[in-house]
Amino acid sequence: MADSTARQSLGSPLHSAAMPDAVECPFCLGSETEQFSAFGSALSVSQYYCRDCRTVFEWMKRKKSPRSSE
């Protein structure tokens, strides 16, 4: 039998140091969003849930380019 303290409850939010806690919803432009999954349909996207319109959407993970503009 699995230890119940090792399981994460379904209602607790995910935390990733590299990802923002909330992003703007592309459907309703709401700011009441939370990370739903660290990965989406590809490794380059993360899934977020909008509490305003109750929609799951994907957000592109982007890093600032190390190249400087010349």
Instruction: State the pLDDT at residue 27.
Output: 96
pLDDT digits (tens, 9 = 90+) for 12-60: 555 556 678 889 999 999 999 999 988 888 888 999 999 999 999 999 9
Q: Evaluate if pTM is beyond 0.85.
A: no
Strands (E) across 1-70 are located at 33-37, 45-50, 55-60
Instruction: State the pLDDT at residue 33.
Output: 95
| Mean pLDDT score, 63-67 | 58
Instruction: State the pLDDT at residue 41.
Output: 87
For 29, the 3-state DSSP assignment is coil
Instruction: State the pLDDT at residue 3.
Output: 44
Where exactly are the structural domains of the chain? 19-60
